[in-house]
Amino acid sequence: MATALSHRLYLWNIRIGAALQEVLVFVEVSLRNSLDRALGEWNPTRGSNPRTGVLYSADWTLDAAPPLRGRIAPALAQAHVLADRVRSTREPGHPRKGEPVRHDDVVAQLSFGVWARLLRPAGRADGVDPLWSAALRHAFSPVARDSVAVQRAMHDRVDRLVRLRHRVAHAGSLLDVNVEARLTDAFDILRAISQPAENWCAAMSRVHDLDESRPR
C-alpha cells in the first residue's frame, strides 16, 4: 500500500510541477515586460551619463542610470555576456546574423530572481526606495501606492515564486508546498499588472484541480 501511494504521489509531483511551471512562466514574462516598460519610461528622465555625456535612453540595459545601475550591475553584466553568446551562435540564415546585441536581447537574459531582487526595498533611513517611488511602482496597474509595505508585499510574492520555480526546475518535492497560497501569489502579481492577464492565467491553469487530486 505504501509503495502504491508513493508511486501515485511521485506522478502527482511531476504533474503539478509541470502545471505550476506553466503559471510561473506566465508570471515571469508578464512581470518582466511590465518592469521593462516602467524602467524604459524612467531611464530617459535621468538626464545624461556624466561619464559619457550621452543622454540616458529607454534602452536601460545598455546604459542604466543610477540608482538602477548600482542595484543590478552584476546581473546586467552577466546578461550581456549571455546575450552576446546567443548572438554569436545565430545560424547563417538568421535575420539578425551579425547584428549587435540589443536591449531586448539583454532583457531576455535577466532571470526571474533578478526581478525579485530589484523589487526588494532599498535600505534608507526613512524607509523610502527612490527607484520604487519613481519607476518600479508604475509597472503595476492601478499604480501601486508609494509605500514600503506595498513594495515589500510585491517583492515577497515574487521571491516566493522564484524559490518555488527553483524547486520545480530541479524536480524537488512539492509535498510540503502550500500550492494554493503560491497560486494566490501568482494571481495577486498578475492582477496588479493586468486584470486580463490574471483572468487568462486563471482560465488556463491546471494547478487547482491537480492540487485537489493529490493522492491521500
Torsion from C-alpha of 183, 187, 188, 193, nearest 10 degrees: 150
- Domain contains 164: yes
- Domain contains 2: no
Q: How confident is the model at residue 95, as a pLDDT?
A: 92
Read off the amino acid at residue 112.
F
Spatial separation of the C-alpha atoms in residues 158 and 115, rounded to whole Å: 8
Mean pLDDT by 10 residues, the chain (216 residues): 86 97 97 98 97 96 95 96 95 92 97 96 75 94 80 95 97 96 97 96 96 94
Cross-strand bridge partners of residue 48: 55
Domain that holds residue 121: 15-212
Q: How confident is the model at residue 147, as a pLDDT?
A: 84
Read off the amino acid at residue 72.
I
CA dist 20 to 17, 27, 57, 90, Å? 5, 11, 36, 31
- Domain contains 9: no
- Domain contains 49: yes
- Domain contains 35: yes
Single out the residue of 29, 103, 30 nearest to residue 64, CA to CA.
103
- Domain contains 4: no
Cis check for the bond before 67: say yes or no (omega within 30 of 0).
yes
- Domain contains 6: no
Spatial separation of the C-alpha atoms in residues 106 and 169, rounded to whole Å: 22
Q: Contact, 137 vs 118, CB < 8 A?
A: no
DSSP assignment of the chain: -HHHHHHHHHHHHHHHHHHHHHHHHHHHHHHHHHHHHHHHHHGGGG-B-TTT-PBP-S-TTTSPPTTHHHHHHHHHHHHHHHHHHHHHT--TT-TTTTPPP-HHHHHTTS-HHHHHHHHSPP--TT---HHHHHTGGGGSSSPPPS-HHHHHHHHHHHHHHHHHHHHHHTT---TTS-HHHHHHHHHHHHHHH-HHHHHHHHHH--HHHHHHT---
Q: How confident is the model at residue 136, as a pLDDT?
A: 96
Query: How many domains are contained in the chain?
Result: 1
- Domain contains 3: no
Contact partners, residue 154, CB within 8 Å, separation at least 6: 119, 140, 144, 189, 192
Q: Contact, 24 vs 186, CB < 8 A?
A: yes
